Amino acid sequence: MSEVTSDPRGPIDPQVNTSGREGLTGTAPANLYGPLVEREQITIAPDFAPADTQPAWRQDFPIDWPQDQYVERRDFMKFMVLTSAAFAVGQLWIAAQNWWRRQNGSYEIRRIASVDDVAVGGAIVFTYPAEHDRCLLVRTSDTQFVAFSQKCTHLSCAVIPRPEEGIFFCPCHEGRFDLRSGAPTAGPPRRPLPRILLDIRGRTIYAVGVEERTV
Amino acid sequence: MRTTVHRPFSRDQRATIVYGMLAFVLIIVILQLWLLTATMNAWLGGDDSVVLPAAAASLGCLGLNGGLLWYLGRLERGRRQPSG
């Protein structure tokens, strides 16, 4: 590799009897003890050639490439640490939501419908546990009812019951869930629909809780 | 008598250190991303037993990354201050 730069102080002349220095034994050029140029302040071209041999435009607008790369990697690392902080905040947000969900306590018992309100193979929409949480109650046989959240576990579109096919269908991305278990059978959803726990007392159907599942 | 000379790292040495740190930080950030998605999936599925351990692990990862960033800042400060 060629010499990166020449010493700005110039070479030291060891001869004391050269022209103009006769009798000046022990003296040195006035700039010998001048301020040193830090190596890191020296601009280095991409080809590591001396600055004098670089094209004019590069001499006018020099870029210190090693310094530039160092600053880029350093700033990228700072950004990655910021990203790490964002992920940690996300985890804390989940923990806070979980704490809030626990503080709300157990689910209330709410009347949904009468057994006679739903025909076999039919479905009705109700809200549970909150006012805007839409759910589906499906009567699969004379004595069996199932209820699930209507919110697709992929991107929260409203699923449509298709009892004749035995599925809940999500029209947004053609996701399919099993009608009896709520498990995903096709499409992008990976988690089953939250199941609404039912209690049938006499001829009345009550919702008593929500069972969220991962599989 | 032994004396220790604390010489600041050169730019090339610091660049090598930054590359090593960056590789470590990237691995940790990818781990945190996986941890966040896995925790979210479990929590939405009703399994909240992993929420607090995952949050603690993620904070630990952030602490590691922050420590590396602090060390990088110390390297830079050591370069600017005259060695005495």
Query: Which tens digit of pLDDT belongs to each residue from B18-71?
Result: 999 999 999 999 999 999 999 999 998 888 899 999 999 999 999 999 999 999
- Residue of B18, B49, B80 to mutate for A, most A C-beta atoms under 10 A: B18
Max CA-CA distance within chain A? 124
Q: What is the pLDDT of residues A147-182, one digit of tens each?
A: 999 999 999 999 999 988 999 999 999 999 999 999
- The reply to whether residue A77 touches residue B21, judged by beta carbons under 8 angstroms, is yes
End-to-end Cα spacing for chain A: 63
Q: What is the pLDDT of residues A71-123, one digit of tens each?
A: 899 999 999 999 999 999 999 999 999 999 888 778 889 999 999 999 998 99
Question: What is the ipTM metric for this complex?
Answer: 0.87
Residues of B in contact with A39 (CB under 8 A): 10-11
- The reply to whether residue A70 touches residue B14, judged by beta carbons under 8 angstroms, is yes
Q: What is the pLDDT of residue A8?
A: 54
CA nearest A135: which of A187, A80, A183, A193?
A193
CA closest to B51 among chain A residues = A95
Q: Average per-residue pLDDT in chain A? A: 83
- The reply to whether residue B25 touches residue A84, judged by beta carbons under 8 angstroms, is yes
- The reply to whether residue A40 touches residue B10, judged by beta carbons under 8 angstroms, is yes
pTM exceeding 0.80: no
Q: Name A53's Cβ contacts closer than 8 Å, sequence gap at least 6.
A: none
Task: Kindly report the backbone phi and psi dihedral angles of residue B4, in degrees, each rounded to the nearest multiple of 5, phi listed first.
Answer: -110, 125
- Residue of A40, A77, A148, A215 to mutate for B, most B C-beta atoms under 10 A: A77
Distance from C-alpha of A191 to C-alpha of A196, rounded to nearest angstrom: 15
